[in-house]
Amino acid sequence: MPLLLENLTKHYAAPDGTAMTVLDVPHFELADGEHVALLGGSGTGKTTLLHSIAGIVRPDGGRVIFRSGQGETDVAALPEADRDGFRGQHIGYIFQTHHLLPGFTALENVLLGLTFTGRKADPAWARHLLTEVGLGDRLDYKPAKLSVGQQQRVAVARALANRPKLVLADEPTGALDPQTAQQVLELIRTLCREVNASLILVTHDMNIAGQLERVVRLDELNRRGQAAVGSGQ
Amino acid sequence: MNLFQLILKQIRQRSLSTVLTVLSIALGVGLAISILVLQRESQNLFGQTEYGYEVLAGVKGSGLQLTVNTVYGIDQSPGNVKYEVYEKLTKDRVFRQDARIVIPQCVGDTYKGRPIVGTIPQFFGYDNDAQRIENVEGEPARRFEYRPGRSFEFEQGTVFREDRFEAVIGSDVPRLAGLKLGDAFQATHGSPTAGAPADVHEEKWKVVGVLKPTRTAADKCVYIGLTSFYTIFEHADAELARDKIRRGENPATRNVRKEEAHDHDHADHDHAGHDHAGHDHADEHNHEHRHAHYTITADGRIKLDQDVLDAREVSAILIKARGGFNALNLINNLNLQPDVMAVSPATVMREFFGNFVKGPSTLLLIIAALVIVVASIGILTTIYNSVAARSHEIAVLRALGATRNRILTLITAEAILLGVIGGAIGFVLGHLLAAAGSAYLERAFGEPIAWTRVSGPELLCLAGTVILAFLAGLVPAIKAYSTPVATNLSGA
Contacts of B132 (CB under 8 A, 6+ apart): B125, B126, B143
- More confident: A233 or A121: A121
Residue A4 has pLDDT above 90, yes or no: yes
Q: Measured between beta carbons, which residues in chain A are less than 8 angstroms from residue B403?
A: 80-81, 84-85, 116
Q: Do A99 and B392 touch (CB under 8 A)?
A: yes
pLDDT at B3: 74
pLDDT at B190: 67
How far is B385 from B380, CA to CA, in rounded Å? 8
CA distance A175 to chain B (A): 14
DSSP B141: -
Q: What sign has the CA pseudo-torsion A71, A75, A80, A86?
A: positive
Residue A107 has pLDDT above 90, yes or no: yes
Q: How does residue B236 score in pLDDT terms, banded at 50, 70 and 90?
A: low
- Please state the rounded mean pLDDT for residues B242-255: 64
Q: How does residue B187 score in pLDDT terms, banded at 50, 70 and 90?
A: confident
Q: Measured between beta carbons, which residues in chain A are less than 8 angstroms from residue B489?
A: 56, 95, 99
Burial B201-218 (b: 16+ CB within 10 A, else e): bbbbbbbbbbbeebebbb
Q: Do B403 and A97 touch (CB under 8 A)?
A: no
Pairing of strands B316-321, B99-111: antiparallel
Q: Do B397 and A116 touch (CB under 8 A)?
A: yes
**Among B1, B12, B406, beta carbon nearest to A112:** B1
What one-letter code names the amino acid at A10? K
Q: Do B3 and A97 touch (CB under 8 A)?
A: no
How far is B191 from B108, CA to CA, in rounded Å? 8
Share of chain B above pLDDT 90, in %: 17
Residue A192 has pLDDT above 50, yes or no: yes
- How many CA within 13 A on the CB side of residue B37? 28
Share of chain B above pLDDT 70, in %: 84
Cα-trace Rg, chain A: 18
CA distance B27 to chain A (A): 29
Query: Residue A229's Cα: distance from chain center in Å?
Result: 28
Return the SS3 of B130: coil
ipTM attached to this prediction = 0.86
Query: Residue B114's Cα: distance from chain center in Å?
Result: 14
Q: Do B397 and A113 touch (CB under 8 A)?
A: no
Residue B419 has pLDDT above 50, yes or no: yes
pLDDT at B49: 64
How far is A73 from A167, CA to CA, in rounded Å? 17
Most confident stretch, B88-102, B291-305, B422-436: B422-436
pLDDT at A63: 94
Q: Taking a C-beta distance cutoff of 8 angstroms, is the pair A82, A73 a contact?
A: no
Residue A89 has pLDDT above 80, yes or no: yes
Stated length of chain B: 492
Q: How does residue A31 score in pLDDT terms, banded at 50, 70 and 90?
A: very high
Lowest-pLDDT range of A170-179, B48-57, B108-117, B440-449: B440-449
CA distance A49 to chain B (A): 12
CA distance A60 to chain B (A): 15
Q: Do A93 and B399 touch (CB under 8 A)?
A: yes
Residue B413 has pLDDT above 60, yes or no: yes
Q: In this predicted model, what pLDDT tens digit does every residue of B253-293 receive, in sequence order?
A: 554 443 444 444 444 444 444 454 444 444 444 556 666 67
Residue A226 has pLDDT above 50, yes or no: no
Whose CA is closest to B370, among B35, B32, B37? B32
Q: Taking a C-beta distance cutoff of 8 angstroms, is the pair B183, B222 a contact?
A: no
